[in-house]
Amino acid sequence: MEPTHLPLQFLKEEEKMFQESVQEFAEQKVKPLVATMDRDGVVGPGLIGQFFRLGLMGVEIPEEFGGSGGAFFMSILAIEELSRVDASVGVVVDVQNTLVNNALLRWGSEQQKKKYLPRLATDTMGAYALSEPGSGSDAFALQTRAKDAGDHYVLDGRKLWITNAKEAGLFIVFATLDPGLGYKGITAFLVERDFPGFAVGKKEDKLGIRASSTCELLLGNCRVPKENVLGEVGKGYKVSIETLNEGRIGIGAQMIGLSRGALEAALVYAKEREQFGQAISKFQAIRFQLAEMATQLEAARLMVYNAARLRDCGESFVKEAAMAKYFSSSVAEDVTSMAVEIYGGYGYTKDYPVEKFYRDAKIGKIYEGTSHMQLQTIAKLILQD
């Protein structure tokens, strides 16, 4: 099917070339594996290595550390184009760039950057471990404890819903040194997969984005060197909040990408499927549905792009990021649902792509801050209270 594009003036020439290269890769290398990856719940063999070789796992990492030295906006384009084919691989690239790499670029010491950024750019996946069984929207009600043990810290606890955990070699883990201090006791730690006392637990069997691994983490007397504190002791809440603001734009990109995929599939089917002697695209009811889908998608896409541009310009973008995630995840649900309806009974089967887009869309309203939490953020900022 023919990919949809924004008019050229929305993208710089280098961005357009990058977008087209990722799109070509997604069509040729990812798309043939989508059904198998969804069925088996695992990213296709060799794909992650190809992400690294193409520079998609270190878009913003400076060239001196082996990265692409690109802008945040380039990460958004990559996430969108991959998610147009499979939101599972889109979120693999999303978490690596918007959460893990960004946290290290902003908060890492020079020693940490020299040690970890070259690995993250070339061969090591990262994961971001904040959520716990009793800590979701109340992200700072953490039970994972960190104890000062001289030249190292000892971490004990359990993390849940951790994206990329099965494949990751480096984890940003949030733990509290003193629950009595509330959010001021939280600290971020760089934990390597082979640190003593660290283990990746069971992989969740999910409704959507099934190829993306989501696992629990188990920390039992896990020893972490003191030089692996990310940022300052007691400032983990700041690391988390500011990184997630950027991550929400990435989720917005994932949502507009899968919405594009669903719309394109619906357009093709509506022109091919005949009822009452003509293509169903000739019926006003179908035409109006497609028009509504395209309009919602365009609005969501512009919101995501605007938030990403503001971030790259160094302007305030927290409200725009929350709006983009909130709106794009709602649009994704609507667009993918209408796509299934346009396919009719066929849309409800796994023989056609739209049922997967529909399943994948639901997570957008849940992770990296639920839709209700985005509305809370937006309301607080517009009311200034």
For residue 144, give the amino acid letter. Answer: T
Paired with 138 in beta bridges are: none
Q: What would be the CATH architecture of the domain defined by 238-383?
A: Up-down Bundle (1.20)
Q: Which of 50, 57, 132, 65 is nearest to 98 (CA)?
A: 57
Task: Report how far residue 44's alpha carbon sits from residue 90's, in angstroms, rounded to the nearest whole number.
Answer: 13
Position 2 scores a pLDDT of: 52
Position 1 scores a pLDDT of: 53
Task: Report how far residue 296's alpha carbon sits from residue 361's, in angstroms, rounded to the nearest whole number.
Answer: 15
Q: Exposure string (b/e) for 315-353, b if CB count within 10 Å is 16 or more?
A: eebbbbbbbbbbbbbbbbbbbbbbbbebbeeebeeeebb
For residue 120, give the amino acid letter. Answer: L
Q: Where are the domains of the chain?
A: 8-125, 127-234, 238-383
Q: Is 206 helix (H, G, I), strand (E, B) or coil?
A: coil
Q: What would be the CATH architecture of the domain defined by 127-234?
A: Beta Barrel (2.40)
Active site residue 204: no
Task: Report how far residue 214's alpha carbon sits from residue 203's, in angstroms, rounded to the nearest whole number.
Answer: 6
pLDDT along the chain (385 residues), means of 10: 51 91 98 98 95 98 97 98 98 98 98 98 98 86 95 97 98 95 94 98 97 98 98 95 96 98 98 97 98 97 96 97 98 98 97 97 97 97 93
Q: How far is CA 295 from CA 81, 158, 291, in A?
A: 19, 43, 6
CB 297 within 8 A of CB 258: no
Q: How many CB atoms lie within 10 A of CB 123?
A: 14
Position 4 scores a pLDDT of: 52
Position 212 scores a pLDDT of: 98
For residue 146, give the amino acid letter. Answer: A
Position 182 scores a pLDDT of: 87
In this structure, is the dihedral angle defined by the CA atoms of residues 188, 241, 331 and 271, taken in order, positive or negative? negative
The tokens of 152 are what?
């190292």
* Owner of token pair 């997969």: 193
CB 329 within 8 A of CB 385: no
Choose, from 167, 320, 355, 368, the residue flagged as catalytic: 368
Q: What would be the CATH architecture of the domain defined by 8-125?
A: Orthogonal Bundle (1.10)
For residue 183, give the amino acid letter. Answer: Y
For residue 318, give the amino acid letter. Answer: V
Position 8 scores a pLDDT of: 42
Task: Report how far residue 341's alpha carbon sits from residue 311's, in angstroms, rounded to the nearest whole number.
Answer: 37
Backbone angles phi, psi at 273, to 5 degrees: -75, 125
